[in-house]
Structure 1
Amino acid sequence: KIRWQQDPMIKALDDFNISSEGVRELRFLLYGPVGAGKSSIINTINTVFEGNHYINCLTASALTGDSFTTKVSAPVVKNFAFYDVMGLEEGVYKGVHPGDIINAVKGHIPDDYKFKYNAPIDKENTNYINKPTLNDQIHCLVSVIPADKITIINDGVIQKMKEIRAEASELGDGFMTRVDQVCIMTQRDITKIYQSRKIKEKMMECSNRLGVVMNCIFPVKNYSDDNNPNEKLNCLMLEALTQIVQDRLMSYHKTYHI
């Protein structure tokens, strides 16, 4: 059950401190197909913390099928960095190369790196980080899937996502976006999201196609045309973010003492 009060969750995340001296922030990398809502998630998180509608991260058009983000970028909220990359697309020479995402997770790709469709970064590239520190690495890899399109996402794109997850299986969580587009009850009242049979079915489909366990899939709704703060929407995102942070900290405390 979601705690529908945002202030305690915001305070808990505001008070979050990283104990490792070698890590400046907890780093998240969002990846998924074009139009999944990666940039919109970052906009929504910034909106929650800033208290104003945040539109700094431009978003891709789901209608054109083209990926907007061509550079890795990281808006930072408190001690969290959220990296956005260009979308995965069907075909060898379209969208971000899975190898680039894997290299980013391992810390070999610098901030603000510009991706090339047909030339993933390698050790010969002058931008390649040969000896990445823990602060260069990604601490949480987040799959982003649109609930209303999970059924029709091309198998080639799903396979690319599986390849990426296979290289970072211990880091994986998932955001399932656009939940209001598949459930009228949720569209009317976002607090009913975990009571919706339709949402649960979509979460199961997402789990089956990607191989992400159900309790690591978080259904969310992003700000889109909403100009006014929405506490219910905020709470849904905060609950998901809080759970992901707690899960990652449990994992990293065992290994890196973050």
Structure 2
Amino acid sequence: MAWLFQDSPTFKEPWRVIPWGNRNEELDYVRNFKPRSGVKHLRVLLLGLPGSGKSAFIDSVDTTLRRRVSARALAATNYDRSFTQEYRSYKIQTETPGTFYPLVFCDTMGIEKGSGRGVDVENIKLILKGHVKEGFKLLPGSKPTGSNYIDTPTINDKVHVLVCVVPATTVNLMEKEPVIKIKEVREEARDLGIPQIAILTKVDEACPEVKKDLKKVYNSKRIQKQV
């Protein structure tokens, strides 16, 4: 009977209020969004460890906006090293054939522990500044040269938003070295005036109550501790 005295895994009231019923209104905002003059699209760079859910997040956004299941950004589960190797970008087509939302999501090799593994921080800094051409393989120790290096990047080559992707299942287990690398990239983005946000992924795996009902994510005590 000890379970009768255990604390509930959820709060009675959410610690963050989300208007779940405004789906159409939020989709309309994205459809009608227009970047400032001179910017064709917002370039959003996803940064995180291997398996953090960067590629899966891109597919989720694509699926939501196109209203059909998408799996364009290849992702791997239970993969201890970076699955994505190239600097790749993904446009999302609107309901009108041949037109796209003014958003470009960019994926890279993940941040890893140790030298010779994962993407080099200096290459991420070059991506932020728009110097790296899409398709360049971000293998450890590689540097963009020749046709892979953009000498005079335009505003459309540069990153406009940096998104740090962190899995709720391992946020407390992240090793020191990758965290230091991510911090270095964030500081570079700060100095460049690039806005930053963080996304907590795999919330359903981190909390059984959220797995039962995703709308309970902001009632979950476990998730709140990760924020």
Give the TM-score of the pair, scaled to structure 2: 0.83
The C-alpha deviation readout for 1:110-137, integer Å capped at 9, x for no partner, is 122221211233xx54421122111110
Q: Does 1:68 align with 2:91?
A: no
Alpha-carbon displacement from aligned partner over 1:190-229 (angstroms, at most 9, x marks no partner): 11212222111011xxxxxxxxxxxxxxxxxxxxxxxxxx
Tell me what 2:117 maps to.
94
User: Displacement of 1:159 after TM fit?
Assistant: 0.8
Partner of 1:33: 49
Tell me the alpha carbon deviations over residues 79-127 of structure 1, each in whole angstroms, 9 at most, x when there is no partner: 1000011111111110111111111011111122221211233xx5442
Give 1:192's aligned amino acid: K
- Counterpart of 2:74 (choices 58, 80, 88) is 58
Q: Give the CA deviation at 1:13.
A: 0.3
Say which SS state the counterpart of residue 194 (structure 1) adopts.
Answer: coil
> Which amino acid counterpart does residue 86 of structure 2 have in structure 1?
K
Letter in 1 for 2:181: K
Partner of 1:148: 169
Cα root mean square deviation, aligned: 1.3
> SS state of the match for residue 89, structure 2?
coil
Inter-partner Cα distance in structure 2 for 1:99 and 1:120: 9
After TM superposition, give the deviation of residue 157 of structure 1 in Å.
0.8
Partner of 2:10: none
Say yes or no: does 1:80 pair with 2:99: no
Q: Which residue does 2:131 correspond to in 1?
A: 108
8 Å CA contact retained: 1:186, 1:196: yes
Distance 1:153 1:136 in 2: 31
Contact in 2 for aligned 1:17/1:79 (Cα 8 Å): yes
Question: Are residues 1:186 and 2:210 paired?
Answer: yes
Question: Does 2:66 align with 1:43?
Answer: no
8 Å contact from structure 1 (residues 97, 120) kept in 2: no
Residues 1:10 and 2:27 are matched in the alignment? yes
- The aligned amino acid for 2:69 is H
2:149 — aligned with what? 128
Residue identity in the other structure for 1:15? N
SS in 1 for 2:133: coil
Q: Partners of 2:76 and 2:131 in 1: how far apart?
A: 25
5+ residue gaps in structure 2? 1-16, 93-100
**Between Structure 1 and Structure 2, how many residues are aligned?**
199
DSSP-derived class of the 1:81 partner: strand
1:175 aligns with 2:196: no
Counterpart contact for 2:58–2:105, Cα < 8 Å: yes
User: Larger Rg: 1 or 2?
Assistant: 2
Larger fraction in helix = 1
User: Does structure 1 residue 157 correspond to structure 2 residue 178?
Assistant: yes
| Deviation of the 1:183 alpha carbon | 1.5
Q: Distance in 2 between the 1:116 and 1:86 partners?
A: 8
Paired residue for 2:219, among 185, 195, 199?
195
Who is 1:246 aligned against? none
Task: State how far apart, in whole Å, the 1-side matches of 2:27 and 2:201 are.
Answer: 21
Give distance in 2, aligned partners of 1:97 and 1:41: 22
Residue type of the partner of 1:200? Q
